Copies of this chain bind each other. A is one copy, B any other.
Amino acid sequence: MSLKGFSAPLLLAIEAELQRQVARLDEPCTRRFHEMLTYHMGWTGEGSGPDVQGKRIRPLLVLLTCAACNGNWKSALPAAAAVELVHNFSLVHDDIQDNSDKRRGRDTVWVRWGMPQAINAGDALFVLSNQAIMDLALTHSSETIFKAAKILHDTCLDLTRGQYLDMSYETRTDLTIEDYWPMVGGKTAGLLSACCALGSLLSGVDETIQEVYRDFGHYLGLAFQVQDDLLGIWGDSALTGKSAESDLVTGKKSLPVLFGIGKNGPFAQRWAKGPVNLEEVIGLAEQLAAEGARLYTQETADQMTDLALQSLRMADPWDEAGEALFELTNELLNREA
Contact = CB atoms under 8 A, between A and B. Distances in A.
A264 to B, nearest CB: 23
Given A120-B93, A167-B120, A127 B33 contact: no
Nearest to A160: B124
Contacts of A182: 29
Given A153-B134, A161-B33, A168-B32, A123 B126 contact: yes
Contacts of A130: 130, 149, 153, 156
Contacts of A33: 160-161, 164, 168
A137 interface: yes
Contact of A142 (B127, B141, B153): B141
A29 B145 CA distance: 31
B96 A164 contact: no
Given A134-B153, A143-B142, A145-B142, A30 B127 contact: no
Given A97-B116, A117-B167, A142-B145, A123 B30 contact: no
Nearest to A145: B146
A8 interface: no
Interface of A: 24-25, 29-30, 32-33, 93, 96-98, 115-117, 119-120, 122-124, 126-128, 130-131, 134, 137, 141-143, 145-146, 149-150, 153-154, 156-157, 159-161, 163-165, 167-168, 182
Contacts of A131: 153-154, 157
A159 B164 CA distance: 25
A96, A98, A124, A182: most-surrounded residue (chain B CB, <10 A): A124
A240 B44 CA distance: 49
A128 to B, nearest CB: 7
Given A30-B161, A161-B30, A134 B146 contact: yes
B116 A160 contact: no
Nearest to A143: B142
A310 to B, nearest CB: 28
Contact of A161 (B25, B141, B157, B161): B25
A134 B161 contact: no
Nearest to A124: B160
A213 to B, nearest CB: 22
A149 B120 contact: no
Contacts of A122: 119
B142 A157 contact: no
A190 to B, nearest CB: 12
